Amino acid sequence: MKKTILIVVALLATINLFAQNAEAPEIIGQGTFLGKSIPLRDFPLIVEDADGKSDYRIIPNNFPVNGYITENALPVGEDPLRQSAVNKALQRSSIGQNFNGMTVSEGGGATPPDPSGAVGPNHYVHAVNVAVKIFDKSGNVLAGPTSLGNFIGDGQNSGDPIIMYDQLADRWFVSQFNTSNNGLAIAISETPDPTGAYFLYEFPLSSFPDYPHYAVWHDAYYMTANKSGQNVFALERDVMIAGGDDPQILGFNLPGVINNPNTVFSPEPAYLLGTDFDPSTPGYITYLQDDGWGAAFDHLKVWELDIDFDTPGNSSVSAPLEIPVAPFDSFLAPFGAGELEQPGTGQRIDMITGVISYAAHYRPFEDHNSWLVTFNVDALGDNTTAGVRWIELRNNDTDDWAVHQEGTYAPADGSSRFMGSGAIDAQGNIGLAFNIGNGDTPVGVAYTGRFADDPLGEMTVPEEIIVNGVGVQTTTNRFGDYSQLSMDPDNFTFWHTAEYFSSNNFWTTRIASFSLSGGFETDAGINAIVSPVDGALTNAETVEVSIRNFGTQELSNIPVVLSVDGVEVANEVFTGTIAPGISVNYTFTQTIDLSTVGQTYEITVCTDLAGDQFESNNCNTEMVKHLFANDLGVTVIVAPETAENLSDAEPVTIAIENFGSADQSNFEVTYDLDGAITSETFTGTVASGETVEYTFTQTADLSSFQEYVLCAATALTNDEDTSNDSTCVTIQNNICQPTSNCAGFDDGVTEFALADQDISTNCGSSPAGYSDDTDIVFNFALNDNPFEGVLQMGFNASVFALWIDFNDNGIFETEELIANDFVANANTDFAFTVDFETIPAVTNGMHRMRLRGEDESTAGDVLDPCGDLAFGRTNDYTANITGSLSLEEQAIQNGDLQVITLGDNRFDVDLTTTFDGPIFMAVYNTLGQQLMYKPISRRNNGHGITLDMSAMSSGVYLLRLGSRNPQGFKTARIIVQ
């Protein structure tokens, strides 16, 4: 990082710990289906550099650099649950595979690697910043390393990849964020083969989705991100798996949460293990709450997410459940300071404290559900030694989530354990893997574990090294950011990936498997119900299922039981043989009656094999609907959506879904904007089960900075179910509010005196880098022009810019920039002048005034009034312009300027004015660069010129007409085709 961290002690205000009601989502809309990729194995490989460093770069993250702690926070000193030793007499586990994943050169030279990986029946898919590589389960390379940017990023290698194997669908999930559109780039494999083709999706969001954590769940893919605005999301999993167009995405804010001011905001979704689940189970999100940064006591919060993609407005996030845990200290040092010492160098590396580790795995059992949460803590109270706090939560049909057991794994050998990741196998055994290192030992990778019947709160399996570190990192504090433990579909083998240094400043990732149990020999279950599916169904529907051998021995003569709405209708036997880990399809002889129109049927199929050792995966249930013939509706309003500076002609686009079994065409669609209804006819055809987008010919006026309610509906004449016809959304037109980091160093303008105001600013009023201070009015009497101002900056080598929105259109334009300069020294008066006689756009009245300042050496452009800054801030005030300029200025500014397009990029420019002196015209591009300056001829009532722009590039240009002095101006825009 660029600065020295100073830890400050501050008491954060305690916020209300309970939200009173469930809250609805922000209906963000839909992702975009970008098409299907070529097979991943056919993409070009990354060419390794000789030293792996020619493209060396640091992957940015939106991590704060605050150092806030609260006095008297618990615990004081050592963690109260610290496990400082392990029982060496207990059974040792077994490492299976152990091989290197990728190197910094294969990954394209990015640091940190952010390693992610997941295991499937036959493959291990691995990703780092910024590449993906596929292995078989013996460590043989099958595809890659391939650039993630080429594969899913539209050429952009942005970072933070996440890999998941969706065991419920036998598909692969690959993602990274996209910095160009603040979005998510996601690929879903077309088949179970991860080296094959993928369905590609893009989900633009309102702000940068840093540090995304995803989870597989039965009704959605859940995702959390370190971002402003909504930070918990549900993605329409079924549509993505099928390669469908425009999967929905719903966004939520977590009520009652206290954000961690020290590092990244990292709520964690529950990640389903195995294939057994209750389809009525909501999604779960958890987040740690530390009294060291404002919570009343140390605890976990848990929220429930109820998702309804058919009627998104019915979705909700619950009030939080608070679960007290033993006191912990999640804070070692602010991000960028570095906590872990390394041998032979003063460079420390970050252990990413205060963050729930990826992933929080959830597994259902016969009489309870287990949910494992892990995060780094200060084990000794010395701010340098980390341990892994692990917590097993349990609930059941009658009892809510509560702590079943918890511990802090931190053996007393001088090493830190950090970047932990844990999971639970099918017998309830826990595996925990992590990085390990200290000032004498380079960072390596290790694991431990415990068996289900061991004493609670202890990791009883002796720690075992996966790989020893060899080198150290001297170039940056950045390390890891992720590690990932995933669960083999056999439900007993853990697979882990993490970073270590195979030589100095040369990171490598490691992939290893281990198990705490050999698994079950006899284990059969229903993998999927293949048919029937929604449609115009009959009284004799065929049922086809996929039977899987989850065990370790061949199975044959497997009984299968079919039920409809809880009533058994068939008990048959699959007489073939299924090899271990293999699925086969079986069609029942007995058909079923699904002939009632509009009814939804619950179809359940179970295996009933004698001696089955794991019955939780025996059954599978699908809800199948006999569709109405005629049933149409609007599922989502795609556009417009809440944004900055919306116009008076915003296109209105809706998604229309045919819920029925008959194709539909030539039907009425409407939208209602705050009571004004527009009606048009959709003339195309929407096939059964298809969703199409329609953009109305009539646009919507959303130009006022206010909140709008927009509803859209279909009006099918013979619609048999009108409950799903319409949907509504609230849209807010906002003036842009750019974000930046000013905390800790007071970047930006700290003192500001101009006109009749002399004020101080502070970062506390704008923690996200923006503050609306329009209640502060600066009075400018033009008779007193020019105005002398003085300001101070909070950091050396900074720049500032000042605009007034004279035309009140919510856009700070080039001609409205009234001051801009470089300030070399912090906390020192810097004088500047505002001369309204040089400003072409001056008008009297009350206008928004924007002041921006930034550390010039960091990312961002202070002259982009809406651009985010790495270190700085933006403040909006009010400017009150009164009085008048000189008579000469008034004569010009009161004139009438007309520009007539003549064709061939030629324009007639005519200024009617009483001013009789010489008039000059200047032409500027959108960057503010002057391209032309020339006198214009007199005409009967003023001055004019025929302007030839045919030699100019296409684009927008600004004309400015005024006297030579210069004093008054008139401006106009022209467009060159």
Per-residue confidence (pLDDT) for residue 871, from 0 to 100: 84
Instruction: Output the pLDDT for position 822.
Output: 94
Q: How confident is the model at residue 71 (pLDDT cuts 50, 70, 90)?
A: low
CA torsion 244→225→355→462, rounded to 10°?
Answer: 10
> Residue 703 corresponds to which amino acid?
S
End-to-end alpha-carbon separation of the chain, Å? 46
State residue 737's pLDDT score. 85
135 burial (CB, 10 Å; 0-12 / 13-18 / 19+) is buried
Q: Which residues of 839-851 are buried (b: 16+ CB within 10 A; e: fewer)?
A: bbbbeeeebbbbb
Q: Examine the pLDDT at 15 and tell me if it is beyond 60.
A: no
Convert the pLDDT of each residue in 896-909 to its tens digit.
888 999 988 999 99
When mean pLDDT is compared across 618-627, 685-694, 879-888, the lowest value belongs to 879-888
pLDDT of residue 922: 84
Task: Look at residue 448 in the predicted model and tell me its pLDDT.
Answer: 95
What rounded mean pLDDT belongs to the chain?
88
CA dihedral 639, 643, 646, 650 (to 10 degrees): 0
The answer, yes or no, to whether residue 50 has pLDDT greater than 80, is no
Q: Summarize the confidence of residues 46-66 as an average pLDDT.
A: 52
pLDDT at 741 over 90: no
- Give the mean model confidence (pLDDT) for residues 963-973: 68
pLDDT of residue 294: 85
Side-chain half-sphere exposure of 846, counting CA atoms within 13 A: 7
How confident is residue 20, by pLDDT bands cut at 50, 70 and 90?
A: very low
3-state secondary structure of 814: helix
For the stretch 150-170, pLDDT in tens is 999 776 777 899 999 999 999
pLDDT score of 833: 92
Q: Are 782 and 835 in contact (CB under 8 A)?
A: no
Mean pLDDT across the stretch 263-284?
A: 93
**Mean pLDDT lowest for which of 26-35, 157-166, 211-220, 594-603?**
26-35
pLDDT of residue 66: 52
Angle subtended at Cα 402 by Cα 290 and Cα 87, rounded to the nearest 5 degrees: 85
What kind of architecture, by CATH, is found in domain 749-882? Sandwich (2.60)
Given pLDDT bands bounded at 50, 70 and 90, which one contains residue 268?
very high
pLDDT-derived band at 755, boundaries 50, 70, 90: very high
Q: What is the pLDDT of residue 927?
A: 62
pLDDT at 114: 94
Residue 733: which region, alpha, beta or left (left: phi > 0; alpha: psi -120 to 50)? beta
Q: What is the pLDDT confidence band of residue 387, given thresholds at 50, 70 and 90? A: very high
In the chain, residues under CATH classification 2.60.40.10 are 524-625, 632-734, 887-976
Give the CA distances from residue 118 to residues 134, 261, 421, 495, in Å, rounded to whole numbers and listed in that order: 10, 31, 13, 7
> What fold, for 632-734?
Immunoglobulin-like (2.60.40)
Q: Which pLDDT score, from 0 to 100, does residue 16 have? A: 32
Please tell me the distance from the alpha carbon of residue 429 to that of residue 515, in angstroms, as a whole number. 9
Which pLDDT value is given to residue 347? 83
What is the CATH code of the structural domain delimited by 887-976? 2.60.40.10
Closest CA to 798 of 854, 751, 759, 842: 854
Rounded CA-CA distance 24/38 in Å is: 39
Q: Residue 975: what pLDDT?
A: 86
133 or 892, which is more confident: 133
- Looking at mean pLDDT, say which of 96-105, 255-264, 894-903 comes out highest: 96-105
Beta strands of 476-523 (E only): which ranges? 484-487, 493-503, 506-515
Higher pLDDT, 972 or 504: 504
DSSP states of 374-434 as a string? EEEEESSSSSS-EEEEEEEEEE-SSS--EEEEEEEE--SSS-EEEEEEEEE-TTS-EEEEE
Across the range 443-451, mean pLDDT stands at: 94
Residue positions counted in the chain: 977
**Does residue 373 have a pLDDT over 70?**
yes
Cα(221)–Cα(635) distance, integer angstroms: 19
Q: What percent of the chain has pLDDT over 90?
A: 59
Q: Is the pLDDT at 311 greater than 50, yes or no?
A: yes
Rounded mean pLDDT, 450-456: 85
Q: What residue type is assigned to position 327 of the chain?
A: P
Which of 136-140, 151-155, 858-862 is most confident? 136-140
**Which residues neighbour 640 within 8 Å (Cβ) at sequence distance 6 or greater?**
646, 650, 651, 652, 700, 702, 710, 731
Distance (Å, whole) CA 895 – CA 885: 14
What is the predicted pLDDT for the residue at 6? Answer: 28
Out of 2.40.160.40, 3.40.190.170, 3.40.710.10, 2.130.10.10, the CATH code matching 8-515 is 2.130.10.10
Is residue 151 within a helix (H) or strand (E), and if so which, with residue range?
Answer: helix 148-151
pLDDT at 705: 81
Q: Retrieve residue 238's tokens.
A: 């079924």
Q: Give the position of tokens 């115009």.
A: 536
The pLDDT-based confidence of 9 (bands split at 50, 70, 90) is very low
Q: Tokens 């000189």 map to which residue?
A: 886
pLDDT tens digits for range 216-255: 999 999 999 988 888 999 999 999 999 999 999 999 999 9
pLDDT band at 541 (very low <50, low <70, confident <90, very high): very high
What secondary structure letter does DSSP report for 258? -
pLDDT digits (tens, 9 = 90+) for 638-678: 999 888 888 899 999 999 999 999 999 999 999 999 889 99
- Does the domain spanning 524-625 belong to CATH 3.40.50.300? no
CA–chain centroid gap for 629, Å, is 39
What tokens appear for 905 in the block? 């990029």
Alpha-carbon gap, residue 404 to 409, rounded angstroms:
16
Q: Alpha carbon of 971 to those of 620, 837, 943, 950, 960: distances in Å?
A: 70, 14, 14, 20, 5
Decide if pLDDT at 745 tops 90. no
Question: Which pLDDT band holds residue 724 (cuts at 50, 70, 90)?
Answer: very high
pLDDT at 462 over 80: yes
Q: Where in the chain is the domain with CATH 2.130.10.10?
A: 8-515
Confidence category of residue 959, pLDDT binned at 50, 70, 90: confident
- The model's pTM is 0.63
CA pair distance 358, 420, nearest whole angstrom: 8
Residue 708 reports pLDDT greater than 80: yes
Pick from 42-56, 438-452, 626-640, 888-902: least confident: 42-56
pLDDT band at 840 (very low <50, low <70, confident <90, very high): confident
H and E: helices and strands count for the chain: 3, 70
For residue 910, pLDDT over 80 is answered with: yes
Q: Write the DSSP string, 692-706.
A: EEEE-SS-B---SSS
Q: What is the DSSP string of 629-663?
A: SS-EEEEEEEE--SEES--SSB--EEEEEE-SSS-
* Beta carbons within 8 Å of 545's beta carbon, 6+ residues apart: 526, 527, 528, 529, 530, 560, 585, 586, 588, 605, 620
Residue 516 and residue 429: Cα distance in Å, rounded?
7
- Residue among 130, 163, 135 at smallest CA distance from 46: 130
For every residue of 75-86, DSSP letters joined together read P-SS-TTEE---
What Rg do the C-alpha atoms of the chain give, in angstroms? 32
**Whole-angstrom distance, CA of residue 752 vs CA of residue 852:** 11
Asked if 182 and 206 count as a contact pair (C-beta separation under 8 A), the reply is yes
Neighbours of 204 (CB within 10 A): 17
User: Does 308 have pLDDT greater than 70?
Assistant: yes
Single out the residue of 904, 902, 911, 954 nearest to residue 935, CA to CA. 911
Q: Check residue 240 and give left, alpha or beta (phi > 0: left; psi -120 to 50: alpha).
A: alpha
Q: Output the pLDDT for position 2.
A: 32
The owner of tokens 């002609």 is: 649
In the DSSP assignment, the letter for residue 626 is B
Beta strand pairing call for 57-58 and 461-467: unpaired
Quick one: pLDDT at residue 831? 94
Which of 128, 11, 158, 2 has its CA nearest to residue 71? 11
